[in-house]
Structure 1
Amino acid sequence: MTAPPQNHATLGILFVIAGVFAISINDMLIKQLSGGYPLHEIVFLRSAIGILFSLVMVRMEGGWRILKTRRPFLHLIRGLLIVIANMSFFLALAAIPLADATALFFAAPLFITLLSIPILGEKVGIMRMSAVLVGFAGVVIMQRPWADSGTLEATRVVLLLPVLAAFTYALNQIMTRKLGVESKASALSVYIQATFIVVSIGFYLVAGDGRFAQGTDNASLEFLLRAWVWPAPGDWGVIVGMGANAAIIGYCLSQAYRMADAATVAPFEYVGLPLAVFWGWLIFAELPVWEVWAGIFLILGSGLFVFLRERQKARVVARAPLKRH
């Protein structure tokens, strides 16, 4: 018989906050490198270094035996989902400001809340569902459907890349909740890093010489398809730091969604929004336009409402008297 999922809300929240902070550092570093390296090379180097850190965590959490799984196909699907999520988001980073891409990506917690209903059987009341709809309204505003495409900083397709990333990331985290009962966080992280390595090697074999990037003026396509180059000496510290950071991200987020209900943990990912604005201002001298600010406030507001609603319900349940049968 399969044991029920753990539900340690406080620990899950702490892990997700740590993971989101690490993600904000990762995104800032990748945007810095996006002008000189292809995406699949950055992903390969980050994951090759990150998997070494993850394997150390495997040893600490129980040894090589915890890498064995009875559900390899589901782990493969989960790994591919996170690869799609990451690469879609990183491609957007090459063309639009960090805060804009991050704000659009924050449809992910909204998707997680919705997907937790049919997939995990979690209950989401009308108040929380209304808050989710408000959050999606913020996503629509940030897409600026009324604006002429020539006035946008990127094409409509590029603006939708973070939303695709959000959806596939949400599916990944829901699967983490499903798989977390029998897999340690470090093992889940190793599976993801290994998937990144395999996919990036595949990209190298097909497009590593840069032939598909010739003649393109699209920043996202150029980032995806340019030729591999040997990293400059000054960039190795950043690349090693990204590798260690990747292991932290994989471990913290896997642990968060193993230990607590997805709908409880997901709202705390909104910490990434102010962090993205901060890094965008500090490193790239970027500040969001008013539509992005409006979307950020709607998403933050809906997330805070969901959190407060859950806290209120938890207190009511805790005070309710036990019934005799």
Structure 2
Amino acid sequence: MTSPASTPPAASRPAAAIGFILLAVSCISVNDMLIKLLSGAYPLHQMVFLRSAIGIVFTLGLVQVEGGFGILRTRRPWLHVMRGVLLVTSNMTYFTALAVLPLAEATALFFAAPLMITLLSVPLLGERVGALRLSAVAAGFVGVLIMLRPWEGAAREVPLWVQALPLLAALTYALNQIMTRKLGVASKASAMAVYIQLTFIVVSLGFFVVAGDGRFAEGARHESLVFLLRAWVMPEGGDRWLFLLLGVNATVIGYSLGQAYRLADAGTVAPFEYVGLPLAVVWGFVIWGSLPGPSVWAGILLILGGGLIVFLREQQKARAVSRRIMGHRDG
């Protein structure tokens, strides 16, 4: 999930926006599946670099279509840097968890982000949150607790800190959303995708300079840390095509997300991001033959239900405010 600022209602094209978000979510699901599939042989920072380096080539082509390199100029460069850093942190922590966690479980934990956005909007944006939305948020976090199962202690199969990584990803994503909502971003979808991919390239190259030889992975005992810190390896055989697919996927994801949230308001678009949850379950079964257990299913349903109630309630409130404004104008 990642949403640039929405366009004004006058420019709203909800049908097109829903099409773009469904395309983006489908590609995100493929992206997550490919990264998990390749996580046993390549370091995360190499995968992020190759994905973004390939993706930015295609994205610059879209920049030409949308107006040329001039659209890359921005009055708020530091806003894009801040958004990029938050999204890089969100992606890196989430992908690190993917090396160990089942795809459906990691995806469901990340979908706590809308619940966090609702809570953070109170202190950071001064918004008022009613009893219904607070109850939905509480139900969602009960689902998170059920999935984390902190009461298992030392008997747990996956360390609690690994399970917490998708939640950290959700938190940094939520902060990005709040910042975007507060400051706004007036850029073309392709330009926003270029800014984000450039940030990924810079950060992954920094990882390469510091840890690209794999020296920090030698003492690492956990699979997630090895995935993050192992040495770079030249892709071979069919893996080269998978990396190319990752790059093309990154282009489609960045552009489609930007377009979706530029063509309609977040309340219209965001609920369709939850299509990613059943897709994650499908990939987990098709590729790895795994299905969520009872506690994970319970957590998924609570997080899904809580998030959708929050979105639907926000959309309902937005329509009520719009009607009141139109009523005052007519009067």
Report if TM-score (shorter chain) is over 0.5: yes
For residues 314 and 69 of structure 1, do their structure 2 counterparts lie closer, same or farther at Cα, with a shift above 3 Å needed?
closer
| Identical columns (%) | 63
Any conservation in 1 of the 2:6–2:263 contact (CA below 8 Å)?
no
Q: In the TM superposition, what whole-angstrom CA distance separates every residue of 1:14-67 from its partner, at most 9, and x where no partner exists?
A: 333322211100000000000000001000100000111111111111111110
Number of equivalences: 322
| Pair 1:299-2:303 in alignment | yes
Match of 1:214 among 193, 215, 218: 218
TM-score by structure 1 length? 0.90
Any conservation in 2 of the 1:109–1:267 contact (CA below 8 Å)?
no
Offset of 1:194 from its aligned partner?
0.4
Aligned to 1:6: 8
Distance 1:47 1:127 in 2: 41
Q: AA paired with 2:170? A: A
| Pair 1:245-2:269 in alignment | no
Match of 2:63 among 46, 58, 67: 58
Any conservation in 2 of the 1:80–1:195 contact (CA below 8 Å)?
yes
SS in 2 for 1:233: coil
Distance 1:236 1:141 in 2: 39
Aligned to 2:294: 290
| Pair 1:93-2:95 in alignment | no
Unaligned runs of 5+ residues in structure 1 are: none
Any conservation in 1 of the 2:6–2:262 contact (CA below 8 Å)?
no
Match of 1:160 among 123, 143, 164: 164
| Pair 1:18-2:20 in alignment | no
| Pair 1:73-2:99 in alignment | no
SS in 1 for 2:242: helix
Offset of 1:168 from its aligned partner?
0.8
Any conservation in 1 of the 2:268–2:315 contact (CA below 8 Å)?
no
Which shows bigger deviation, 73-82 or 119-128? 119-128
Q: AA paired with 2:176? A: N
Any conservation in 2 of the 1:113–1:266 contact (CA below 8 Å)?
no
Offset of 1:133 from its aligned partner?
2.0
Any conservation in 2 of the 1:6–1:181 contact (CA below 8 Å)?
no
Which shows bigger deviation, 289-298 or 109-118? 109-118
Aligned to 1:130: 135
TM-score by structure 2 length? 0.89
Aligned to 2:280: 276
Which shows bigger deviation, 116-125 or 258-267? 116-125
Q: AA paired with 1:42? A: M
Distance 1:197 1:44 in 2: 5
Offset of 1:294 from its aligned partner?
0.5
